[in-house]
Structure 1
């Protein structure tokens, strides 16, 4: 049985996609960890959550992240969750994770 609270919460839901942190360059990963990205981001222990918006509210100055935002906007994704355990997405660039900040 659906309650008014369930319906209200569902109406507020935004699409989120989880993807590998390897889609971010080492410099962008470091900016994410240090909470210094050009867009709204929330660092976590193994990546972070980044707000895209629909329509996209801002274009990131980080080129790798801007590429991902373009695809996310086309897919209707509002939030991106970057995680070391998440899937690698076909068609997106993948960066070396062997650096000291990986």
Structure 2
């Protein structure tokens, strides 16, 4: 692979943060699983990816997710990966313990 290709690909990278699905209420987690969030989301077998944008392209109608979006935008995060086994982030609300449903 030539260096120009690698450089070009690297320029397309967008920051992603993996965080616990415990930062979402059970209702929002279910909406993520059902691909029914108010913003662009891509469910996976263990959670899902949610697009924040840079700058944030929309404000979620789900209050818990809106709080995460605000923090993500301040941190320069473009994508969120929610997973029960990912880290609990200090300062964000937790609605149950990591490892529970989703």
**TM-score when normalising by structure 1:** 0.93
Gap regions ≥5 residues in structure 1? none
Partner of 2:88: 88
Q: Structure 1 CA distance, aligned partners of 2:21 and 2:5?
A: 34
Gap regions ≥5 residues in structure 2? none
Partner of 1:50: 50
Partner of 2:35: 35
CA RMSD of aligned residues (A): 1.8
Q: Structure 2 CA distance, aligned partners of 1:101 and 1:72?
A: 23
Aligned residues: 101
Q: Structure 2 CA distance, aligned partners of 1:72 and 1:97?
A: 21
**TM-score when normalising by structure 2:** 0.93
Partner of 2:25: 25
Q: Is the 8 A contact 2:84 2:101 kept in 1?
A: no
Q: Is the 8 A contact 1:52 1:79 kept in 2?
A: yes
